[in-house]
Amino acid sequence: MLVLGAFALIAYGLHRLRRIRAISKWPSVKATVVRSILENLTSSNEDAPHLRPRLMYEYAFQGKTFSSSVLGVSDSAFDFHSEREAGTFMGSVSRGASVDILVDLAAPSAAFIAPGASRMRLNHYATAVASGVLILIAGAGAWWVMHA
């Protein structure tokens, strides 16, 4: 069971990191924010805030105009657990602001706010991979000690 959990962590982290790496190669264009709100998802049993930006932005690509509300590679890609970090991000995406987005050449209606996830979320994905590897190493060490 421990091994399955470790592999699940590794697969989750690698999948997200590969997705972010792939979209980093998409062309970057400027988009204009037309709506910007910060949703508070904090539940009564949480110590830290749980804040999620909700944006609507418009952009032109290959002669067509698109609008999107997708921020990143997952719904939680730009979630924040710090009011300061959320405030800094929201300051850069206020209504009328110009933001860099990455656009999928194969499906221009698909776009993400560059780089596709917050720095905290990128660290989360890398930590998932590292944790899975460490669990495998610890499990192998425990197996070796028990069978030596």
Residue 1 has pLDDT above 90, yes or no: no
Q: Contact, 79 vs 118, CB < 8 A?
A: yes
98-137 pLDDT per residue, tens: 999 999 999 999 999 998 888 888 898 999 999 999 999 9
For the chain, give the percent of residues with pLDDT over 70.
Answer: 100
Q: Contact, 101 vs 113, CB < 8 A?
A: yes
Give the E-state strand segments of 1-148 in sequence order: 28-40, 51-61, 64-68, 98-103, 111-113
Helix (H, G, I), strand (E, B) or coil at 49: coil
* All structural domains of the chain with their residue ranges: 1-24+117-148, 26-114
Closest CA to 29 of 90, 129, 96, 112: 112
Closest CA to 24 of 95, 88, 115, 98: 115
Q: Strand 28-40's sheet: what is its strand order?
A: 64-68, 51-61, 28-40, 98-103, 111-113
Residue 117: count of CB within 10 angstroms of its CB: 26
pTM reported for the whole predicted model: 0.80
